[in-house]
Structure 1
């Protein structure tokens, strides 16, 4: 059954649409303004959104823009009683699939929706991908930036396209590679991982392509390379920017022809391997410096995916901290129920140069040190404790057992107070967009 989200601040019009759509066999959810709709899209999947343009709080155009940042693939139909050509053009540019004028012709509406759902409905495989991606989001974040990334992954995963994953160390590039492979047609076949930075040039070629007995000093037996092991599946080349130029030539041939010769052999091997690669380097700068082949770059850069650093998506920190806390509390058999508001505030203020990996390590260390129900600032590493001096002394301590959502609400309230209610400055201090702050205020009923 298809689920349609109806967004309109006119209760009577919502009720009419609900009746029409329910009669057609659709499941209908409702939202009375744009901000509520955006929150609903973050929380659940909808096959189609039918949304009014003129609404209080957040209008349909602003909500459309926010929804497309969360999930690019959801078809959105806008409705208006005030048809304006410039507005319609803007809506289409932002990704609306249709623009209807009120009062709606219900017969025409039924036909249009049926046609659109027929065109945009995900296949059973893609639906399964979305389900697995929702769980995977626990590993790398659930904010708008990462949801957009996961939507992109859902599109490329079922293909055989070469993917280049870009991002700083610790952002979760390997997790993205895992997700792509797990949601591909090759999921039942091996995912072979090679850290190209961990092997010297003399061994890397042999590791990737294998060697014959006696091919070089120490080659006492024939060895199968990682590409051969990955035949039928996927190979993940981590830190691809570290591969020496001499090996890049051979790698280029594999990408072009799916063929190579093991070291010391004249026999050509053919493989069927999907290539995923990752790097924290600027490969175009490496090309300019003569350290990376331009032709190899373009072979790898068929479908680039950028994983943003944690400092640019601070709305992920609380959820990631909760995930790691659950994981390591169970591993180390600790009865820890959360973080104190001050400890959470320190996590939010920290720069996280090591990204998600550094956050994970920080939470595990804190779990080991903690003998209480909540992780407190004293359980955090010294660099985070040093940030305590910058915190408002009035930030209240809350009772044990408080949820992370309650902590987040308290953090927003205290930061608003610090900035005299200025929402722009509050959003900057929290490291989130003003729109994200507005949605949080709406969610928590903060006026």
Structure 2
């Protein structure tokens, strides 16, 4: 089945995968699971160290967990586990993408990692801090499933739409993802607040939601634009195809420079997004209810980020039409630098709400704009999955770097505030590199600069 660019039915199906999988990013990565993880590991730490459950820990005492005999900060351990998952994704996705391009079965790879991620989310229901190695294994595979599926999902964008529509469709996908994930988060919040279900049931709901709505995508997306005959040794031909794409990639000066800038500023974006909830849970003075910090305010802040993120993606898309993608990205990066600096000094919920609102406005926009800008810089090719695997590998290696850096800074300074403010380094370097991208390499890149 060939793909006709601009087909509204195919585009709607493609967008629906953002609606389906974004619940992982919100409920598992950003909201319910980080709060659940901090609560259960804190409770277990108090039980095993002789503190009462309602007793505040003395100054200088931080929550630690035993991981294969190592005593580590619970948040530092989380950052290291996420780093390991992203390292695996960055290593395997280029090879898998090369094979998918050669065989013409991107959709099958997309489905496999979707199902792996959804099933792993469901197994988080059994998370036990006394057996934390098993629980974090589920999180590890959920992360691999989510991020590897995005490699093949993103690769469809240049196949289903003309370059002039990439910004709009990319922003539409992110916005649909924000809206869909907010709906499920609100459902989870109501169920938890009314004590209808325990928080761990939300992880099962994420898996069901992801599986159910992804079927709309699979019904309309074909496997690939390519129709190769499967031959003996086709796996190695997939590797050779990837090598061929890499040789082409080396000759695209603008694409290489853009990916260098993207590596740095996206490292900052993803690190802040992954660790923001852990930071807020530890460093913000939330009201106390029944002897425990009230987490409802934190979830409201996360909902605020999502709500503004949906609008922010479209605002940046419209701004890019006026001043170009590169300048629009530059403005958002400057705002991100301010966010990191502000996080070092905020302490109250009201201050965190203001910061969360700012994050929301630039979070979705910078992701959508980064994806669509990359698709515009691609040379004429049918190897879209292979090219997007380089984009994805750059993103994941950056996240490995950022999360390792974040966890290491916390261990060195014993203070997450230093970890957050130090992330500004990645944004500064990314901003400098962004404006070193040459303006001319291809003649059909209208709207990228101006």
TM-score (norm 1): 0.21
> Which fold has the larger relative contact order, with Cα–Cα distance below 8 Å and residues 6 or more apart in sequence?
2
The answer to which structure has the higher helix fraction is 2
The answer to which structure has the higher strand fraction is 1
TM-score (norm 2): 0.20
Which structure has the larger Rg?
Answer: 1
